[in-house]
Amino acid sequence: MAFLKELKALLPQLGNSKFLHFLLEPLLLWGVLIGVLAWVLSLWVIKNRMAQICSLILIATSAFAVLPVLHFRKKASPITAPSARLLNAQNERRKETQWVYYAMGSLATLGLFMTGEGKGKSGTVFSLAIAGGGLATVIFSVWLQEKEIAVFHPDARIQFKSGATRQKQGMFPSMVWRT
Cis amide bond preceding 173, omega within 30: no
pLDDT of residue 155: 74
Read off the pLDDT of residues 32-76 as tens digits, 9 standing for 90 and up.
999 999 999 999 899 999 999 999 999 999 999 999 988 888 887
How far is 59 from 42, CA to CA, in rounded Å? 13
Per-run averaged pLDDT (10 residues), the chain, 179 residues: 85 83 89 97 92 96 94 79 77 92 96 86 91 96 88 73 52 47
Cβ neighbours around 149 below 10 Å, total: 13
Over the Cα atoms of the chain, what is R_g? Answer: 20
